[in-house]
A and B are shown apart, each in its own frame.
Chain A
């Protein structure tokens, strides 16, 4: 019999390439993973055999991820660039997946038409669409596709014992290993073990007359018969799994993953966090959910029994944290390291052959007959239409997910950033991106400059990062307090990492950058704001690396392509035969077990009907709940929730639509009122949680106490609002709030100010800055400094003054020692100092020693990290001495000083006051530095307060500050011997420039307070201007 081309397979290939091949150009770059693989590819393109990469995480090894896909992209990039490489590999992956499904389906169903059906359906299966177009997991797709190619070969080896099949199957396993490490390991368990079981069943079947006669005894006999083949295959593939990526295993042993578990959506309770349930359960399963009874029915038939067990386990594991079973099955460690969505992916792939079978039976097989005879032809058509409609809509929904709910920020033009890094030696420092999403990998691929961040958290080595449950510093705002806290540590001590430039694509981070002592440089053409920090040394020209043996490097560079080459040589013959039908080939063994599709089980049809009905009810109920939750004016709670959500996302038109129309507040007026409120809370806060307490008065009026938690870059804020709501025509509306009516006295006014400009290098030259262009570092004086202990935490407090004639940027670095002069901790001043000082201006400061400051970082980090909490210190190592290094650099930016403390009142432990903005800039975030003194006017402590609202020009803003509760401050050391300014001793400077310091007047600004532990306070004001003009 002449073999005919399988038209289903060919149409599946054409359809798949046309559909996915064109769609990837719009989806792949915005997926989670694709750009990471691109970065790795860029590494191989530049240094194929050197596994050490300096660009991320202060250095990591690419031997931490199997290289095949990356190397392929890297190789192709030499022809047409990195993206060409990526899209080419994606196309290859599509072809591999489609052909792989075909072969797998053929193996399972022994029927070419059914396999063809399965292949066509696989092209549009929502799990594949999601993995490719939303997750961008290319290595995973390649791995699982090649594994599917390997399965028939394994079957044939086990069944026939022909060594040729052993060779082909092992060659394909090797390719799988080099493209993705997890796939073959779990593939062994979930695909190959059941396959062995299936072979044993088939062998047993041959020994008896019918499937029913296959008893356990027969099965055991066949097992012993095939034992040698199974073991030889198992051992050899184990050798390959270890051998092909041996450097990977070696590296995992040498650098075990120390990363604390990072939360992943696939481990959520899908019923609680419905978005995770959608992405990690509903979408990958898709229409398969409806035919689930059929799939289980078929897989629990005797021949497929082991696949039945396998798919059951995968299904259960795929449910993540919804039930406690996966946690118990995998154990705490594995549960927290693995992303569980892969189990669902495998389960869905395993279901594809049977989906094909179901479709075949529904379209032209016995199911059609059954339905038509039982329910009539029209019903059959309707059912078919509904299923097809659901299938197509699932694909469209999945594809559009990235469009309606983008997982990434808008595409950023990288060229201006790349140019910036290339000019003026900017790449001699490390950089950090903020708000770039996964595009940071694309930036890294395009530049040689290094970043402290990175996008492959398994390879991290810095304890500051591995001890935090955050993915990247870059998106730390989504990780709440822990994320922001981790970022703060990098921003406060950037010199430790030679971190000088920050590219910010998210204005949210601006305040934290400012208050950590960073300054704006300029905005690039693509809208990215560049921030810089002064006094950072460049990255040293020789960097540490963990070298590996030369043979490991060569192994890593050669092995992946070698496996592909061998697999190609061994399998291409097969392919050739299959494709071109050049010669008649004996029918493979697995085609000898076809299932007769003659009589569809009535019970299965019934159960499928019931199951579909249940699914439909669950779905309707889900949609109903969704409607209830999202019908914004149904209940007062919904109205408040919607209003706050709208404010959080700056959807002011929507917010206005929830304002009582009877209050006659036009949108123009509303927008105006919104636009004049600036500040930490209204411009830089992200709502974290909201709670409403409703007090009902009558059917149409209620009052609500709204407690909302906001994450701001600086601190967590709890805000309590009291809102009134009223009901009109069945809809709830909020009453508008009152305005601040403060009227400034002047319509137009003028102000003079001294401004500064630093030329940088005056000559246009690529040489180092000329000697005479280098400004003198401004001379600072530490007026007082002492080491104190308050509430169990140590701090260096004091006062620093710019005694030069130019404005200075101040960086204070404190180090603590014990009695034996052993260094215990070092840290920089963060919020508690005015980082920019005008000539002769002074500022109180406090240096906290938090988190990473302590030498024994690993031990001292608490499980639940909170940047406002201090890390306790071991008791035998008490700091007793300190060293303070102060560095001044000329800076002309952020020198706005026109803020006035215009009223102040003391009332039972609280200070009420007004800030008045007398200048020309709008103050976005005012900060108060409150210094506490004892009865002898000796400094004891420094505290701060961020005023939540901004201050507009010539307007007042009131603030309220809680004076610290009782608690004695213990002065440990007030010896000023080890204080250095720009590397010179502080004493010499102070005696030279200000020999006779007048203390009296400075003391006159101290305000007497009534407090058991403190006698005086001083209030200083620091301001952050969000948009200077």
Chain B
């Protein structure tokens, strides 16, 4: 019996030993990393450890979104140590690794999580100028990053600060997929908005948004002039009321206003001005003949003014004309203004020369000391009979059948 017991024990031992061998085989088939940690904070040193069973150390393949590499292991205390290189461990995201064992590859992954710290903050804002009124907006984009240039974790709060006129506001925006952004709508007022942002104790620099007035609304016009005579020399100035947008903001400086003048003959004259503090002024020289002006102004397609009417009184009621030097010299004048003074130099006097009914030549002269003097050069005006028409200050005088020789 004793022998039988021994035999049984031996048999069991043999069986057990065989089991033990089998177990040992199974263990080499599934090498497990010694450490099972799969989540690391970015920047920390990552070493994958495997039990070292064989003499040969397989290579470790690892890759992240920036690229892939092979790492050879170090044997330490019956363990294989694989140190993930810094350029991989310093980027957030997933690292896939695989132990390149010929028979049974072992693989796994590690995720690198962002650090909740901000080293630098990229801030963009644009467009830098918007229109008042609430509909136009600009966008603030903040990208806080850690010292390793990784974005901060999702839902990290970024505090945006806005200063506009009297108000100072703060608003928390949460980062999502690297960035935090916000559309900043304009207010009803125009002005300058300053924006900054802060994230985890780090502050951005100051950004400026110009909020310009919206498009102008209707306005009124007025005029000033030194006198109401049509002397062709003084200047009438038109000005607008303060032009504002529909939210009562004064339109931006330089806004272009056109003044349209329709005269008695329904001809359209035009002068323009640009606003300063909402007021556009524009000048025009007086007509040199009796006229009635109807004036309106507009900002093209956007705003218009009321109409005003100005009357200009005739200054020269009559003038004299004398012919001399074989009728080749024509002296017009004296041309006298409203107080019997000589008209200021520069009044246009036109001489229309007709051959029969046909207009032959138009000569234009400007008055000097109250007179205008025409000389009919023989090169142009041959010895013939002509009809003359003299026009100045809206008055016309006709001289028929004058013979030149």
B124 within 8 Å of A (CB atoms)? yes
In the docked arrangement, what's the CA distance between A999 and B378, Å?
54
Closest A-chain residue to B262, C-beta based?
Answer: A1004
Stretch touching chain B among A36-44, A396-404, A834-842: A834-842
Stretch touching chain B among A581-589, A665-673, A741-749: A741-749
Interface pair A1007/B368, CB less than 8 Å apart: no
Interface pair A841/B379, CB less than 8 Å apart: no
Residues of B within 8 Å of A741, CB to CB, are: 345-346, 366-368
Identify which of A752, A754, A772, A900 contacts B270 (C-beta below 8 A).
A900
Contact status of A903 and B207, CB under 8 A, knowing A695-B379, A745-B344: no
In the docked arrangement, what's the CA distance between A839 and B213, Å?
12
Interface pair A840/B284, CB less than 8 Å apart: no
Count A-B contacts at CB 8 Å: 178
Most central of B216, B268, B346 by chain A CB within 10 Å:
B268
A942 within 8 Å of B (CB atoms)? no
Contact status of A838 and B296, CB under 8 A, knowing A741-B345, A745-B233, A897-B274: no
Contact with B along A805-848 (1 / 0, CB 8 A): 11100000000000000000000000000000111111000000
Contact with A along B341-373 (1 / 0, CB 8 A): 000111010000000000000001111100000
Residues of B within 8 Å of A837, CB to CB, are: 256
The main secondary structure of chain B at its interface with chain A is: strand
Contact status of A1001 and B296, CB under 8 A, knowing A722-B380, A743-B346, A902-B269: yes
- Rank and list the top 7 A-B pairs by shortest CB-CB distance, nearest first: A703-B379, A742-B346, A841-B256, A1001-B298, A743-B345, A805-B252, A805-B212
Closest A-chain residue to B361, C-beta based?
Answer: A722
A606 within 8 Å of B (CB atoms)? no
Nearest Cβ on chain A to B134's Cβ, whole angstroms: 13
Interface pair B378/A754, CB less than 8 Å apart: no
A768 within 8 Å of B (CB atoms)? no
B185 within 8 Å of A (CB atoms)? no
Nearest Cβ on chain A to B381's Cβ, whole angstroms: 10
Closest A-chain residue to B343, C-beta based?
Answer: A743
Nearest Cβ on chain A to B194's Cβ, whole angstroms: 12
In the docked arrangement, what's the CA distance between A905 and B348, Å?
14
B126 within 8 Å of A (CB atoms)? yes
Identify which of A740, A771, A774, A918 contacts B283 (C-beta below 8 A).
A918
In the docked arrangement, what's the CA distance between A752 and B283, Å?
12
Contact status of A958 and B364, CB under 8 A, knowing A775-B128, A841-B300, A1005-B260: yes
Residues of A within 8 Å of B269, CB to CB, are: 900-904
> 8 A-B residue contacts at CB 8 Å?
A703-B378, A705-B380, A741-B368, A754-B253, A806-B252, A904-B268, A1005-B268, A1021-B270
Most central of B208, B253, B304 by chain A CB within 10 Å:
B253
Closest B-chain residue to A1020, C-beta based?
Answer: B270
Contact with A along B136-159 (1 / 0, CB 8 A): 100000000000000000000000
B271 within 8 Å of A (CB atoms)? yes
A998 within 8 Å of B (CB atoms)? yes
Residues of B within 8 Å of A723, CB to CB, are: 379
Most central of B125, B276, B345 by chain A CB within 10 Å:
B345
Contact with A along B263-278 (1 / 0, CB 8 A): 0001111111111100
Interface pair B267/A905, CB less than 8 Å apart: yes
Contact with B along A867-906 (1 / 0, CB 8 A): 0000000000000000000000000000101101111111
Identify which of B234, B267, B274, B285 contacts A900 (C-beta below 8 A).
B285
Interface pair B272/A903, CB less than 8 Å apart: no
A290 within 8 Å of B (CB atoms)? no
Contact status of A902 and B301, CB under 8 A, knowing A918-B235, A1005-B258: no
716-766 of chain A: CB within 8 A of chain B: 722-724, 738, 740-743, 745-746, 752-754, 756
Nearest Cβ on chain A to B206's Cβ, whole angstroms: 10
Closest B-chain residue to A802, C-beta based?
Answer: B256
B215 within 8 Å of A (CB atoms)? yes
Nearest Cβ on chain B to A1010's Cβ, whole angstroms: 12
Contact with A along B229-246 (1 / 0, CB 8 A): 000011100000000000
In the docked arrangement, what's the CA distance between A918 and B282, Å?
8
170-216 of chain B: CB within 8 A of chain A: 207-208, 212-213, 215-216
Contact status of A1001 and B304, CB under 8 A, knowing A745-B234, A803-B215, A805-B252: yes
In the docked arrangement, what's the CA distance between A771 and B260, Å?
42
Residues of B within 8 Å of A903, CB to CB, are: 269, 287
Residues of A within 8 Å of B365, CB to CB, are: 738
Contact status of A771 and B124, CB under 8 A, knowing A705-B379, A1001-B296: yes
Contact status of A743 and B379, CB under 8 A, knowing A838-B256, A1001-B304: no
Most central of B366, B368, B378, B379 by chain A CB within 10 Å:
B379
Interface pair A999/B301, CB less than 8 Å apart: yes
Interface pair B346/A902, CB less than 8 Å apart: no
Identify which of A895, A902, A997 contacts B284 (C-beta below 8 A).
A902
In the docked arrangement, what's the CA distance between A692 and B268, Å?
40
Interface pair A904/B215, CB less than 8 Å apart: no
Identify which of A704, A840, A898, A1008 contacts B255 (C-beta below 8 A).
A840
In the docked arrangement, what's the CA distance between A754 and B252, Å?
10
Residues of A within 8 Å of B212, CB to CB, are: 804-805
In the docked arrangement, what's the CA distance between A783 and B302, Å?
12
In the docked arrangement, what's the CA distance between A783 and B345, Å?
44
User: Count of B residues near A, CB < 8 Å?
Assistant: 64
964-994 of chain A: CB within 8 A of chain B: 992-994
Interface pair B379/A752, CB less than 8 Å apart: no
B331 within 8 Å of A (CB atoms)? no
Residues of B within 8 Å of A1008, CB to CB, are: 266
B135 within 8 Å of A (CB atoms)? yes
Interface pair A998/B302, CB less than 8 Å apart: yes
In the docked arrangement, what's the CA distance between A56 and B234, Å?
57
Identify which of B207, B260, B287, B301 contacts A998 (C-beta below 8 A).
B301
Interface pair B270/A842, CB less than 8 Å apart: no
Nearest Cβ on chain A to B295's Cβ, whole angstroms: 11
B71 within 8 Å of A (CB atoms)? no
Residues of A within 8 Å of B215, CB to CB, are: 803, 840, 993-994
Identify which of A738, A839, A1002 contacts B256 (C-beta below 8 A).
A839
Contact with A along B302-313 (1 / 0, CB 8 A): 111000000000
Identify which of A801, A895, A897, A956 contacts B285 (C-beta below 8 A).
A956
Contact status of A901 and B253, CB under 8 A, knowing A722-B379, A840-B302, A841-B300: no
A299 within 8 Å of B (CB atoms)? no
Residues of B within 8 Å of A745, CB to CB, are: 233-235, 285, 344
Nearest Cβ on chain B to A918's Cβ, whole angstroms: 4
B127 within 8 Å of A (CB atoms)? yes
Identify which of A695, A754, A803, A998 contacts B274 (C-beta below 8 A).
A754
Interface pair B301/A994, CB less than 8 Å apart: yes
Closest B-chain residue to A771, C-beta based?
Answer: B124
In the docked arrangement, what's the CA distance between A955 and B344, Å?
13
Residues of B within 8 Å of A405, CB to CB, are: none
Identify which of A705, A724, A904, A1002 contacts B301 (C-beta below 8 A).
A1002
In the docked arrangement, what's the CA distance between A705 and B267, Å?
35
Interface pair B300/A842, CB less than 8 Å apart: yes
Closest B-chain residue to A799, C-beta based?
Answer: B300
Closest B-chain residue to A777, C-beta based?
Answer: B127
Most central of A774, A839, A1000 by chain B CB within 10 Å:
A839
Residues of A within 8 Å of B90, CB to CB, are: none
Nearest Cβ on chain B to A621's Cβ, whole angstroms: 33
In the docked arrangement, what's the CA distance between A738 and B375, Å?
10
In the docked arrangement, what's the CA distance between A801 and B303, Å?
14
In the docked arrangement, what's the CA distance between A803 and B129, Å?
13
B254 within 8 Å of A (CB atoms)? yes
Residues of B within 8 Å of A703, CB to CB, are: 377-380
A1019 within 8 Å of B (CB atoms)? yes
Contact with A along B7-48 (1 / 0, CB 8 A): 000000000000000000000000000000000000000000
Identify which of B136, B268, B367 contacts A1007 (C-beta below 8 A).
B268
In the docked arrangement, what's the CA distance between A724 and B378, Å?
9
Residues of B within 8 Å of A1004, CB to CB, are: 260, 296, 298
In the docked arrangement, what's the CA distance between A745 and B258, Å?
24
